[in-house]
Amino acid sequence: MILIGIGASLPAPDGRAPRETCRAAAAALDAIPGLRLVALSRWWESAPLPPMPGAPWFVNGVARLEGSAPPEAVLEALQALEARFGRERPYPNAPRTLDLDLLDHHGAVVDSPRLQLPHPRLRGRGFVILPLAEVAPGWRHPLTGEDVATLAAALPPQELRPLAA
């Protein structure tokens, strides 16, 4: 199981709203050679973390994919998709047109300068854990062994809400 976090808070260069960008990105994930989209969470709206007064809220979701592409190849494909959707990186945690995070890749543990698995900041983030629970309710954190329900129960308060379909 490969888990990808999808998020956006700014309109895409073509003017498409963040939610539409996230939908298009999910469809594009299914077109990556060696990967197949098998589940997509509903979309969630969340305040930026850390809080940034005046910054737009994010639309977030999680995609579950199956496939044999190695994690480094998946990361390259995700970064190419971000660039295609106009992603810029002016400063850490900046509002963005698209953010794709490789959260987990078949339970692998990787700690390199380019890639860390599982994603080092997924714990404690409701905008990741709650949609992840929708697409992979049996998932366990590869390092701690905690199941996603335990992680969800331990979430700190966050400004977060599911969006209507």
Catalytic residue set:
87, 96, 99, 101
**Checking DSSP bridges between strand 58-67 and strand 44-46, what pairing results, if any?**
antiparallel
Report the DSSP beta bridge partners of residue 110: 117
